[in-house]
Amino acid sequence: MEVEAGDAVERARSGDSDAFRLLVEQHSHAIFRLAFRMTGNEQDAEDVVQETFLRAYRQLNKYEARSSFSTWLFRIASNYSLDLIRMRKRHEDRRERATSEEHDILNVIPVDTPGPDRIVYGTEVQQKVSAALDQLSAQERTAFVLRHFEGLSIEEIGESLGTGTNATKHSIFRAVQKLRKSLEPVVGHAR
């Protein structure tokens, strides 16, 4: 598959739009999943998917085959997502500073929400997970998503984001600490 992808990249570089279409069709699902997990927003994720391929197209001559094409796309997508999250956060901070308590995870779903039903419980856990991910800083969320969901090594993430291994490791540790703080009361309830 990688050989085929490599062939498609070479053909796309030489101006073969069908080859680039093939790459878009092959990688769109994975980029969407990554983007949604990073941004937590469906429309933003769609924007990231499109922007990722537009940038990839523009920068095809910069792609070096030492990393896989999908990893290269992940790098573009994660950097753009990071930018998007930061911009959104800055904007929201300014706009909604007065109502920042709305972001308190404990207020997302009241603790005493009744929910013995398994489906309701599952939905509640999912919402808590989404809210917990929203509590992470842009850097923490990006590093965590790339490690946890996409299986990139800490070294690869550090290289992709330009943050280095140690800083990436600490971003992931902080993310895990925050997730534990938010989610342990929830999953503890399930045990």
Partner 1 sequence: MNHVSEEQFVLLYYGEARDRGAIDRHLDDCEACRAEYRALQLVLNTVDSAPVPARSAEYGAEVWQRIEKRLGARKRSRWSPARWWIWAPVMTALLVVAFLAGRFTHKPTGGELAKNQQIRERILLVAVGDHLERSQMVLAELSNAASGKGKLDITDERQMANELLEDNRLYRQTAHSTGDTTVSNVLDDLERVLIEIAHSPTQVSNDQLEELQRQIESRGLLFKVRVLGSRVREQEIAPGAKDKDSKKL
Size of the site for partner 1 (CB under 8 A): 53
**Cα 11 from Cα 19, distance rounded (Å):** 6
CA dihedral 38, 41, 46, 48 (to 10 degrees): -40
The residue among 64 and 101 lying less far from partner 1, judged by its C-beta, is 64
Interface with partner 1 includes 133 (CB under 8 A)?
A: yes
Please, which of residues 35-74 interact with partner 1 by CB under 8 A?
36-37, 42, 49-51, 53-55, 57-58
The Cα 129–Cα 135 span in angstroms is 10
Q: How far is 173 from 107, CA to CA, in rounded Å?
A: 25
CB atoms closer than 10 angstroms to residue 35: 28
CA distances from 5 to 8, 19, 35, 97 (A): 5, 9, 21, 47
Q: What's the min distance (Å) between Cβ of 50 and partner 1?
A: 5
Q: Quick one: 101 or 154, whose CB is closer to partner 1?
A: 154
Q: Does 26 help bind partner 1 (rule: CB under 8 A)?
A: yes
Give the residues lining the site for partner 1 (CB under 8 A).
17, 20-21, 24-29, 32-33, 36-37, 42, 49-51, 53-55, 57-58, 79-80, 83, 87-88, 90-91, 122, 125-126, 129-130, 132-133, 147-148, 153-154, 162, 169, 172-173, 176-177, 179-180, 183-184, 186-187, 191
